[in-house]
Copies of this chain bind each other. A is one copy, B any other.
């Protein structure tokens, strides 16, 4: 006999859509790309460059913003972030045949990214690509100059590039110790984050879905800065809007105080992402402000996770990965409670536009 199952019928979390071994193996596999990444960077370094441009669109643009802000405060290397569609229209006069693009693509055939590679090659620049899908367009010999094919972990791959660049430039003395720690602990730490946040994520998703049913028009607000900004921006847009069809708005902590704060009232659903990098004080200011005007806010703070084996001084460098772990859990229960498979799209790649 089949009985009707209400979304809140079976109370309790269950690590839905989580395979610990698979998760751990995936991160360790990415970390094991290090010799390959280092060899490519060594080549780029030897050939020389006048600028390194992380370029993306949508979610990969968000990851590009994360790695740029990570390096901005730490490195004098000429590292920049760009949006692929802007590069294809406005261009960048400082981009030359000595410039290098670093990009990532899951599908390996995103329209703007394919055009971007061709444009870069016309200029004579080089392209270092991380592609998830073997055999896709962007893995072809004429569509990249340096290639790493491995699924998922885009944010981690970009940070691995950043870390080695800074090491080569004499800006990361603890590179060996850092990698030893990450290679020993990161994969398990991130799996632990998912396990530790699972029950909380179940309740949060339940609350979010109830609120979405009650106020279908009302956007959820996501706020975050530093290496959380890319996470905040892409989580709101690429997950809630794109995959769940729920309205959201994202804003940085600092900009929140220059406009958006005015539309927060007692019951506005706000979620603050707090990480542990240099921009944490900006999030702390939001955390002090919110309770004074809002009774429906949520703070997700990476500081609450033990991250066993990770030294305090390195915690900030993985805050975005920790947040991603928490969000993975939320997504799993949103998909369940919404009864909305996250893989379906209304419009994206459904017709020509």
Chain A residues close to B by CB (< 8 Å): 57-59, 61, 69, 72-76, 78, 83-86, 89-94, 112, 215, 217-219, 225-226, 234, 237-238, 241-243, 245-249, 251-255, 257-263, 277-279, 281-282, 285, 288-289, 292-293, 345-348, 351, 353
Enumerate chain B residues within 8 angstroms of A238, measured Cβ to Cβ: 258-259
Q: Are A242 and B259 also in contact (CB < 8 A) when A217-B215, A219-B249 are?
A: yes
Enumerate chain B residues within 8 angstroms of A257, measured Cβ to Cβ: 58, 348, 353
Complex: A289 Cα to B351 Cα, angstroms: 10
Complex: A253 Cα to B90 Cα, angstroms: 13
The 17 sampled A-B contact pairs (Cβ below 8 Å) are A59-B259, A76-B93, A78-B94, A84-B254, A86-B226, A217-B217, A219-B219, A237-B255, A237-B258, A237-B259, A238-B259, A241-B259, A241-B260, A242-B260, A257-B348, A262-B348, A289-B347
Is A347 in contact with B258, judged by CB distance below 8 angstroms?
no
**A345: nearest chain-B partner, CB-CB:** B262
Residue among A73, A78, A292 having the largest count of chain B Cβ atoms under 10 Å: A73
Complex: A327 Cα to B346 Cα, angstroms: 32
> What distance in Å separates the Cβ of A261 from its nearest Cβ neighbour in chain B?
5
Q: 9 tightest CB-CB pairs across the interface, nearest first?
A: A58-B258, A85-B254, A237-B259, A217-B217, A217-B218, A73-B90, A242-B259, A289-B353, A249-B249
> What distance in Å separates the Cβ of A185 from its nearest Cβ neighbour in chain B?
26
Is B246 in contact with A263, judged by CB distance below 8 angstroms?
yes
Contact of A279 among B86, B260, B285, B346 (CB under 8 A): B86
Is A255 in contact with B94, judged by CB distance below 8 angstroms?
no
Is A219 in contact with B247, judged by CB distance below 8 angstroms?
yes
**A56: nearest chain-B partner, CB-CB:** B258
Complex: A281 Cα to B90 Cα, angstroms: 11
Enumerate chain B residues within 8 angstroms of A72, measured Cβ to Cβ: 90-93
> What distance in Å separates the Cβ of A92 from its nearest Cβ neighbour in chain B?
5
Additional 11 contacts, C-beta under 8 A, given A73-B91, A89-B225, A245-B263: A58-B257, A72-B91, A73-B93, A83-B254, A85-B282, A219-B247, A237-B258, A237-B259, A258-B348, A261-B347, A262-B348
